[in-house]
Every structure is written in structure tokens, then in C-alpha cells.
Amino acid sequence: MTRFLTCIICLPLAIALAEPSFAQTAVPGLRGSDDPGRANAADDDAREEAETPAGVNPTQSNVFALRPSVNIAEEEDGSTGLGAAGRVQPVRPFSDRITAVTRAVPLAQGGIDDTVFGGDTTFDAPDGIRLGSFILTPQLTVTAGYTDNTSRSATGGAGSLYRIAPDISLTSDWVRHQFDASLRGSYIGYPGNPDDDDIFGSAAAGLRLDITEATRVDADISYSISREEDGSAESLGNDTFIHEGNIDLGVTRNVGLLAATAAVGADRRVYDSDSTIESGRDNTVYSASLRLGSNAGGLLSPFAQGSLLFRRFDQTCSDSICEIRDADGYELRGGLAIAAGPKLVGEISAGWRLEDIEDSRLKNLSGLVIDGSLVWSPSRLTTVTAGVGTSFDATDIDNASGSIIYSGDLRLAHAFSDRWVGEVGLGYNYRTYEGVAIEENTLTGFVGMTYALTQNVALTANYIHRRFDSSQDGGDYTENAIEAGLRFRH
């Protein structure tokens, strides 16, 4: 197993440092040229000059023109507040929000086009490796730094850290249909406090089948693993890893001015702890939904969505007083798709969710649901993204029905040149429990920069401030962490 993990981690680095002739292979739609030999260099230069607006530096104008193609397996729906509440997860790449909005509002409906800056350096934009009709894009980021709270808890101490983060994506290059896959990981080591070492991993795949001009099938599957934060009310004081798997299947049919989507899905969560106390939170939520929306285009397109929910726990008794937490419920939402593109594109919705728990001793888990993702392009070199999200989590705390988490974030990325990009972000999570007086608040601030040293290597640096406040005594903590290192990609 150790050798296997080592190979996975080293693969992107080895490819990124491959011989230059291999790195220059042209891939349509990505960085490079369909004219590798530059036989038509004069024509290309004349075209670039004609397409560059007056007063714009040609180098800077190239920043937005080379945004990587969308990988639907890497989208970020809604928001996690720059990190899921109660979990140790890295900040997601800036482009994931853009991917989600691109999928929600296609370009044909006024969505995002390539004039919107994607939030990354383009001097070292990846060429990728062609594998038949697919493009494989490997990446590896290695950083080192310092944090004043290695365990993210009230008793955490300071120490140095290092992070190894591989990222591999696979994108189809088909005329019709689309298949994407993504594999990401992050290992954080604390040499002075090895018991606090963290691991995160995610794998996802998405398939879109264009059956006819009016009918589309979407299938998505994903898996992730992350450690539960020690400061969380759910924590037993031992390492607990949360395994989450999702599978969704939907069919969309356009009928005149109306678009209808029918979908089914399952969300499976398993809590793996080294404690002798077995977790009672392991559960699966099954869902069936129907969405009706406008297909007329325009600036604002309304939609409505209804879902039936069925939560089933692995154990009949989920806690010490044997509360049966299986539940049936529903979710109703209404919202708007916004297509003022490319300046402002996104989707926002609000509604209500209720889970009727079988045990009469527990209150229904219900509350307001708000979800949305927006992308705003105030200038050709600046992009702002915003998101809000709501999630319902299970619990095995006595007398508690579960928790509701409201999250939001605001991020800004600016390209100073095609080599140098800066980013700043602010995120917030609010978690409240139904049936017990427990509330948790997490505020996260993020500042980062990337500078491309070569066409395969970039320097990265970031600073994160995190503040956690809990209504439970002894749970509050703060963390300040700074990292710097190198990113390798092909």
C-alpha cells in the first residue's frame, strides 16, 4: 500500500519534468497551437493583434483567452465556506465555482465564455497528455510552512508543516457527449506533532449524454475522505474519518419553453473512528426529484424543484438512549438562473426542507434551504465568485435530531500578468443543532498568490486564518497558517 501511494504521489511530478519535446505536443482546445511549427506565425500574430482591444497589453490579454476547458467532475455547487464545517479539508481551487456555473447555465443560454478570467496563471497552463479521445492533466503541489494550531482545537500547539497534494483530471474530447474524471488528494504532515497529520482525498466522475437535441442524460458519482475536526461537537476526542459517497442520475427534456429534469440519487456517509464506541451516524439519504424551469433564455429564468427524501441509518439505535432516527421528508425550492453573461452568471434558489424522524422523542429536522453560485466579471483580468449553501447532517448526540449547516463565501482573483495571479477570499459556516442548544461558527480568511516560473513549474504561497467559536465550553480556537512551495503540471 505504501509503494502504491508513493507512485500515485510521484506520478504528476515525473510527468511534469518530462523532456521538453514531449511537453510541446499540441492539444486542440488547450494551451499550445494547432500550428506547432509556426508555419503560419505571421497570420497568427496578425489575428492576435486584431483581436486585442486598444490599450490592452497583449501579454495580459492572453490571460483570459487560454482558460482551461471545463471538467464537470470538479464543480463546486453552492458553498462550503472555504472548508466544510466540522471537517479538515483544503480550500477548493477557484475554478471549481466557475465550472459549476458553466454547467448550470450553458453558453448557449448566455453562460460563461472564455473572456472570463479563470483565476489561474496561463503562462504555465497545462497542455495535458492525449490518451485517445481523452486529455489527461496531471499536477502536483508540494509546500512547506508553519501553523500555530496543528490540531485545530482549543489545546492545539504550534509547529511546522508540509503538504503533498496530487491532482489528476481526465477530460473527454468528443464532439458529442462528455465524460470527465478527477482525482485529488492532500496529505499534511506535522513533523513536531505527527499525531495531528491530516489526509484528504476525493474522486469524482461525470457523464453527459446528448441523446437528442432536446434530451440529455447526466450521471455523476463521487467519493471523499476527510478527518473530523477535534473541536466539533460530534468529535469523541479520537481520530474520526468521514467517508462520503454520492451517486446521481438525471434526465433533462426540453419541451418548447419548458425544461424538465427528473433525477434520483443516493448520499452515503460512514464515520470511521479508532474509538471503541461504534458510531451511530452511518446512514444513506435516498432522493427523487423533479425540476421545472424556463427554457426561453433571457436575463432571468425561473425554476422550481421538489424532492422526496428518505434517510436510513445502519443501526436501529443510533445513541445511548436508543433513538430511532430513520426519517422521510421533502425539499421544495424555487429560484432563478441568471444569464447576464459574461458579466454576471449564476443560479440562486431558496426553499424549505423537512425530515420527519420516526422516533417521537425527536423533533423534525427542518429549516430554510438557500443554495447559489454566482460568477461576476468586473474586468477582463478580474473575476469574483460567490456562493451560499445548506446541508443537513446526521448526529448521534442524545436528544438531537441533527444539524443544519449554512455556508457562504466570497472570492476574488486578479491576473497581474499571465505569470502572476493573486487571490483573496472570505468564508463563513454556521451550524445549529435541532433539539439541543449547540451552535458552531467558523470564519475563514484566505490570501494566496501564484507565479509561473516556467511553463511547467509555478511558485505558490498562501495564508489562512481560521476562527472557530462553539457554544460548548472549551471548544473555541483560532488558527493561522502560512505555506509556500512549488506546483508542477504538464
Domains of the chain: 2-31+66-489 (2.40.170)
Helical (H) or strand (E) element with 65: helix 58-65
- DSSP class per residue in 325-358: --EEEEEEEEEEEEEETTTEEEEEEEEEEEEEES
Q: What is the pLDDT of residues 203-230, one digit of tens each?
A: 999 999 999 989 999 999 999 999 998 8
Q: Is the pLDDT of residue 76 over 90?
A: no
Is 323 strand, coil or helix? coil
**Residue 153 pLDDT:** 87
Average pLDDT over residues 252-271: 95
Q: What is the pLDDT of residues 477-487, one digit of tens each?
A: 999 999 999 99
Output the nine-digit C-alpha cell for 270.
Answer: 460512514
Average pLDDT over residues 97-107: 87
> Rounded to the nearest 5 degrees, what angle is found at the Cα of 447, between the Cα atoms of 474 and 408?
60
Q: What is the pLDDT of residues 143-182, one digit of tens each?
A: 999 999 998 888 889 999 999 999 999 999 998 999 999 9
Residue labelled with grid coordinates 466579471: 377
- 28 in Cβ contact with 34 (< 8 Å): yes
Output the nine-digit C-alpha cell for 364.
Answer: 423534525
Helical (H) or strand (E) element with 219: strand 215-228
Q: What is d(CA 353, CA 371) in angstroms, rounded to the nearest whole number? A: 12
Q: What is d(CA 407, CA 246) in angstroms, rounded to the nearest whole number? A: 20
Average pLDDT over residues 434-444: 95
